């Protein structure tokens, strides 16, 4: 226990046989239960862990079919809730995350400062030199996009998988509705924002040891934009129309139609003028320009309200 709180560590395991034993062996002693989820791993990593490590607080769960990293973590979350965990930590099995930093990671949750804590790899510029450049660039782009989607404008590195969540916060999330693939970390942030859960960054360095990532760039480019679009629609609907209705709701209702009308009207009139070889009148141009300008201004005001409403301890 830590501060009389039961700490569970969940470790999704898929093609990480090379690292998984070292990860488990370095979990701190204050952790009450270590839950390894063998996500139909072709390397039989779950059985390998059971053969190599003999400790009472180790529990290995097995999936008959591969569900993805999110599906594995969800199984671990369910097990932790059923066994009265107070805080659940998620650690990847590939060795990128230092188990010795778990106490630092859970500190905001233990002290009641946040309901969800996540690692932030972008504060240590020395360690960033070790991060593959393509991964650094991709994570930077994803970080900004997820700020918009999740509504947590005060955090960095939102796709970081080194996380800790309280039992109360986990109980607010419908585990059946979480994405079971690589979008899991982003999806849970959206769900937590809708429930107004405080999320805090914890500066933690990642370790890169030449491990092979099973996440393909093609999958991210193909799947993430659609999932992000769905997430922002979901968050706006619940937070600004179902659970509340404020000035941001009005700004979006006015600004978005104006922007769409101005853009479509302007393009149509420009095409017609080009085909007919005639100039559009000043009035026609001003209709498009004014609609776009007002639409952008209204949406910027909505974004300002969204930024100000980021869940923090001070506004709860």
Interval 128-146: pLDDT, tens: 666 667 667 777 788 888 9
Q: Where are the domains of the chain?
A: 7-217, 245-315
Alpha carbons 23 and 154: distance in angstroms, whole number: 30
Mean pLDDT for the chain overall: 90
Q: Where are the beta strands (DSSP E) in 30-187?
A: 33-38, 58-62, 87-90, 116-120, 163-166
Instruction: Read off the pLDDT of each residue in 195-201 and give the average, rounded to a whole number.
Output: 95
Q: What is the dihedral sign for C-alpha 76, 77, 82, 88?
A: positive
The sheet carrying 199-203 orders its strands as 58-62, 33-38, 7-13, 87-90, 163-166, 116-120, 199-203
| Whether pLDDT at 213 is above 60 | no
pLDDT at residue 249 in the model:
97
Instruction: Read off the pLDDT of each residue in 150-168 and give the average, rounded to a whole number.
Output: 91
Q: Span 7-217: which CATH code?
A: 3.90.550.10
pLDDT at residue 208 in the model:
61
pLDDT at residue 60 in the model:
96
* Terminal-residue alpha carbon distance, the chain: 28
Range with the largest mean pLDDT of 153-157, 202-206, 285-289, 310-314: 285-289
pLDDT at residue 169 in the model:
97
Distances (CA, A) of 165 to 27, 90, 114, 193, 269: 17, 9, 9, 13, 53
Confirm whether pTM is higher than 0.85. Answer: yes
| Whether pLDDT at 188 is above 60 | yes
| Partners of 38 in the β-ladder | 13, 62
pLDDT at residue 250 in the model:
97
Chain centroid to CA 135: how far? 16
Instruction: Read off the pLDDT of each residue in 205-224 and give the average, rounded to a whole number.
Output: 64
């Amino acid at each position: 226990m830590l501060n009389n709180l039961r700490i569970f560590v969940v470790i999704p395991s898929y093609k990480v046989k090379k690292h998984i034993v070292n990860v488990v062996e370095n979990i701190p002693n204050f952790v009450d239960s270590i839950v390894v989820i063998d996500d139909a791993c072709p390397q039989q990593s779950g059985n390998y862990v059971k053969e190599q490590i003999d400790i009472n607080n180790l529990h290995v769960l097995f999936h008959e079919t591969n569900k993805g990293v999110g599906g594995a973590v969800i199984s671990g979350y369910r097990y932790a809730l059923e066994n009265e965990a107070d805080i659940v930590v998620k650690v990847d099995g590939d060795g990128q995350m230092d188990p010795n930093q778990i106490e630092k990671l859970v500190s905001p949750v233990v002290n009641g400062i946040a309901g969800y804590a996540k690692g932030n790899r972008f504060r240590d510029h020395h360690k960033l030199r070790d991060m593959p450049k393509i991964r650094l660039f991709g994570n930077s782009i994803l970080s900004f996009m997820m700020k918009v989607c999740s509504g947590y404008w005060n955090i960095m590195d939102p796709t970081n998988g080194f996380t800790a969540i309280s039992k109360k916060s986990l109980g607010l999330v419908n585990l059946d509705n979480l994405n079971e693939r690589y979008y899991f970390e982003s999806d849970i942030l959206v769900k937590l924002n809708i429930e107004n859960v405080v999320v805090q960054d914890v500066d933690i360095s990642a370790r890169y040891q030449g491990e092979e990532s099973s996440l393909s760039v093609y999958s991210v480019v193909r799947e993430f934009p659609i999932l992000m679009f769905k997430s922002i629609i979901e968050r706006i609907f619940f937070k600004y129309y179902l659970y509340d209705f404020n000035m941001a709701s009005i700004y979006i209702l006015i600004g978005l139609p104006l922007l769409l009308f101005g853009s479509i009207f302007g393009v149509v009139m420009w095409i017609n003028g080009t085909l007919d070889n005639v100039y559009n009148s000043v009035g026609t141009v001003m209709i498009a320009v004014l609609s776009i300008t007002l639409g952008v201004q209204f949406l910027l005001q909505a974004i300002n309200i969204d930024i100000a409403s980021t869940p923090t301890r001070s506004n709860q």
